[in-house]
A and B are shown apart, each in its own frame.
Chain A
Amino acid sequence: MESREIFWNISQIGWLYALTFIAFLLLFYGCYDHVKFWGTGRKTGGGPPLRLRWKSFLSLALFQRGILKRAYPGIMHLFIFWGIIVLFIGTVLLAIEHDFLKPIFSYSFIRGNFYKVYSFFLDLFGLLAVIGTVMMLMRKYLFPEYRGVRGRPDTLAVWSLFFVLVTGFLVESARIRGTGAEEPFSPIGYVLSALLPRLFDAESLQLFHEVLWWIHLVLALILIAMIPYTKLFHIIAGSFLTLSDPKVKKGILSPVFSEPLRLEPDRLTRLSRLQLLSLAACTQCGRCEEVCPVVSDQSLLSPRRVMDGLRRELQRSNNHLGFLQNGAFLAGFWECLACRLCEEECPISLKVAEKIVDVRRHQVMALSQFPAELRSVFRNVETFGDPFGEGKYAREDWIQGEAVKRRLRNRNGCLVWIGCQSAFHERNKKVAWAFTKLLDVLSIDYFLLGKEEVCCGDLARRTGNEYLFRDSVLKNIDTFRRYGVQKIVTLCPHCFHVMKEEYPHWGGHYEVLHYTELMAEVIQQGKVPFSKSLDKKTVYHDSCYLGRYHDLYREPRSVLNHVLMDGLMEMEKNRGSSVCCGAGGGNFWTRGNTGERINATRLEEVCDKGAQIICTSCPYCLVMFEEAIRNQERQGLVAMDLAELLDLVKPSGTEK
């Protein structure tokens, strides 16, 4: 019966056990350190229950769905991952048989046909792992822009992995040569054995085999011992993370206060255990950095460095955000647009933006340190109820006709939430006006709150001022209660997101629609056939809050395709990979250089397409694009809101 002689040609087996013991000791000691650090994290109480997520474990960890989003690194990692898994399982089976079943029960199962299959699979997956490793080495040395393998420990790990695999095959082939066995079911070893130089006499072959065997062993053990001390730890942390991340909808921030208003002592200063785990799971692969619109020579932010820096600083300070001292690093946190592109891009969906907001919260609420521009914005929301500081009275200024004025607070139909941008910003007032006209044409019953509106709070929440956010939420919920609001249609995706997903925590449960959803619904019902008459080349810019936060890609497109004669053009970066306009995450108000740079790049993309209209459905995006168009003095290009576009093509004659 076919089998393999274990430890052929190897004496002093005692060393094997001693070295293995030391390697695992180091492994466990390192893991213990990680667990200790993890234990300093906040327990997340109150949030959604922590259930094991086998599905995400299967898809993200075992089938590597996230990494496979990109072909080359995806296949590379998949090969290495499965190669190592199978080789590891093979080795464990061998150890079980040799050290446990055989001496105690005199039973062995790795023989006969099972041995053939076993040996074949080990060879096959070993080959895959070699291919993957070679791909990784090629990337490192041939494509310097690839930054996944950084620094000495990483390089050491890759090279050891490579040599472990190569020496493994060489040892196998030498054994096959030495024992003279016919093993075609170990194809690689078999072929290699034939290729071994004929010069080897029996003695030098044995020496060759023995030396390589020990090298193979030591390198493999070094790799195992390295796991907790290098980014190899992502093997463990990543698996646990995909298993234990509670199923929260995308982009929802966890509340800071428990109600009635109370603050857990360590809520602001410490990250939660889950967050620490995700810091440990980050491999610094740099995909987030590649896609992040903010990252450039002038910017201080990089999602990758956020993860890396947080892990280092928090390990140093035992998980206390107050010890974050690095000025430039901290300043980077204020450049984040909260667009969640990094989170979508991350192979294991690490929540970067969430951590950035947690750091902002600590900065704002515990230390009162934030960009000076935000101070007046916070003050304006506190005293006037809007970030512009215009006051309640000006909230109804955009209304021009008596017909709409009658809609104020008359409690008929659904509530149309105008939002601060559309109520105060000159450009966006036109959108509000166009949309209300449209509703009149469609004879949809609606009412407005006018001066009863208060800032929805998104701005305060994303900039870390949770106290102010809570204040706004409670005021608005109280207003909604007084007016018996059940259904809300918002003009701004930001209001839409917080009202739909973040108000329920304070007991505000409403049916919230963004107006593009409403319009898509209307068109689907075929109530009003908008004429398909717009013959302008149009691109649609997906706003972060409709797109990545809520996956509303279909609705605006169906509306646009309904009115555009030539159909909608798509930008290079559309849907989930759409780039933020540069105003998100409070950047509209802090007005760094970042925003201007980002909308300029985005606009160039539009112009490359030769579009005449850039259509958005977010007031922030609209303003940013208008500014970019003005700054670049683009002729024949206009930024328009979807509502304005519809207003252009609405059936004539029905206007009241």
Chain B
Amino acid sequence: MIKIIVCLKVVNQLCSERGFDAVKRTIDPDCIVKMVNPADEYALEMAVHLKEREEAEVIALSIAPEDDEKLLRFCFAMGADRAYRIWEDGFDRLNGPAIAYLLSLAIRRLQGNLVLCGRRSADANGNEVGGYLAEFLGFPVVSGVTSIEAFEGRDKVICRRRIERKGWDLIETAIPAVLRVDRGEREPRYPNIFSILAWSEREIHLFNQVSLEANSLYLEECNSLTRVLEWIRPKPKKVFTPKSNLPPEERIKLVLSGGMDKKKAEFIRGETREIVSQMVDLLAKQKCFKPEGEG
């Protein structure tokens, strides 16, 4: 049986720019919304979907304080079999490499052979944990996976990965492996009530620094590899909202043009011949080309 480990993060999203004070470096807690990282939810969905096809066990793993358990439980109800939480005071200050180090210790302990995690977190947008994790574990890593296509025997997996807007890769990788999951085709399912109720009572096992036998010096070193120097946030962009008393057509036009009257669209109607001549005029007016005879 394959052990799929899904790493989930509870992200703190700013739902309003107004609570953010760049000078004092404070954030009003009221404007923070906690949620499970959407990309990680896609990863969990992928794992659960795989479990429905293959013999597998889905283990959820998260570095989160006890307060976040309620949120996580709702998410685990999508279909996780077991759940582990890593926490110790001070873990809220960890950066990507340190988190990856802790996760890798837990994953080794759990003997997982397929690790799924979201490609990026919605808040910090570090794009780093998956990569570091593969490094610490010595597994291959595939980034931007959108679906798992097939299992080749017990030691290979074929996954689909988005490369460009319309392009796809099919990548075969040996397992154990780390897959960094992107928004896939399958929307994360809405957990059903039986699962929600079951998970509201099920135990979430706890790891801490001691039980993981994490080397605190090494952890410190990981944590100091990178450092945030400054938060720079753009000035809140004024989002254009058209007046609600306009007819819908106009509103659509305004939204499309970003509320700028200058970008007015011009409609050319009439016979083909007329349309062509008007278009030529229009393009000439816009100085797209020089009409014949002038140059």
Contacts and interface: CB of A to CB of B under 8 A. Distances in A.
Interface string B26-62: 0010110111000000000000000000000000000
A382 B41 CA distance: 15
B191 interface: yes
A368 interface: yes
A631 interface: yes
- Chain B CB count within 10 A is highest, among A262, A630, A631, for A630
A375 interface: yes
B248 A393 contact: no
Contacts of A392: 15, 30-31
A427 interface: yes
Contacts of B191: 368
Interface residues of A, number: 29
A393 B18 contact: yes
Contacts of A633: 247
- Chain A CB count within 10 A is highest, among B18, B192, B193, B245, for B193
Contact of A383 (B30, B33, B190, B245): B33
A451 B193 contact: no
Given A393-B15, A393-B19, A263 B193 contact: yes
B241 interface: yes
A172 interface: no
A378 interface: yes
Interface string A599-611: 0000000000000
Nearest to B192: A368
Nearest to B28: A393
Interface string B185-220: 001011111101100100000000000000000000
Interface residues of B, number: 27
Interface in A388-408: 390-394
Contacts of B244: 426-427, 626
Given A366-B192, A391-B33, A451-B30, 17 more contacts: A261-B197, A368-B189, A368-B190, A368-B192, A383-B33, A384-B15, A391-B15, A391-B16, A392-B15, A393-B15, A393-B18, A393-B30, A393-B31, A394-B15, A630-B245, A631-B248, A633-B247
A467 interface: yes
Interface in A177-202: none
The 4 closest A-B pairs by CB, nearest first: A391-B15, A393-B16, A365-B193, A393-B31
Given A366-B194, A368-B190, A393-B31, A630 B248 contact: yes
Contact of B193 (A268, A384, A393, A427): A268
Contact of B200 (A261, A364, A390, A426): A261
A451 B28 CA distance: 13
Contacts of B248: 630-631
A96 to B, nearest CB: 56
A104 interface: no
A13 interface: no
A390 B192 CA distance: 26
A633 B246 CA distance: 10
Interface of B: 15-16, 18-19, 28, 30-31, 33-35, 74, 187, 189-194, 196-197, 200, 241, 244-248
Contacts of A631: 248
Interface in A433-478: 451, 467
A467 B196 contact: yes
14 contacts: A263-B193, A263-B194, A365-B193, A370-B190, A372-B187, A383-B34, A390-B15, A393-B18, A393-B30, A394-B16, A451-B30, A467-B193, A467-B196, A633-B247
A356 B93 CA distance: 50
- Chain B CB count within 10 A is highest, among A268, A365, A384, for A365
A367 interface: yes
A38 to B, nearest CB: 26
A375 B16 contact: no
Contacts of B28: 393
Nearest to A365: B193
Nearest to A629: B245
Contacts of A391: 15-16, 31, 33
Contacts of A394: 15-16
Contacts of A451: 30
Contacts of B18: 393
A372 B187 CA distance: 10
A392 B15 CA distance: 8
- Chain B CB count within 10 A is highest, among A372, A390, A426, A467, for A467
Contacts of A268: 193
A394 B31 CA distance: 9
B246 to A, nearest CB: 8
Contacts of B30: 392-393, 451
Interface in A247-261: 261
A382 B16 CA distance: 17
A368 B48 CA distance: 15
- Chain B CB count within 10 A is highest, among A268, A378, A391, for A391
B72 to A, nearest CB: 13
Interface in A227-277: 261-263, 268
Contacts of A384: 15, 33
Contacts of B200: 261
Nearest to A638: B245
A350 to B, nearest CB: 27
A366 B194 CA distance: 7
A624 to B, nearest CB: 13
A517 B26 CA distance: 44
Interface string A359-376: 000001111101010010
A427 B194 CA distance: 40
Nearest to A374: B190
A364 B193 CA distance: 9
A261 B193 CA distance: 11
A375 B31 contact: no
Contact of A426 (B19, B74, B189, B241): B241
Given A391-B31, A630-B247, A633-B247, A375 B192 contact: no
B282 to A, nearest CB: 29
A390 B34 CA distance: 13
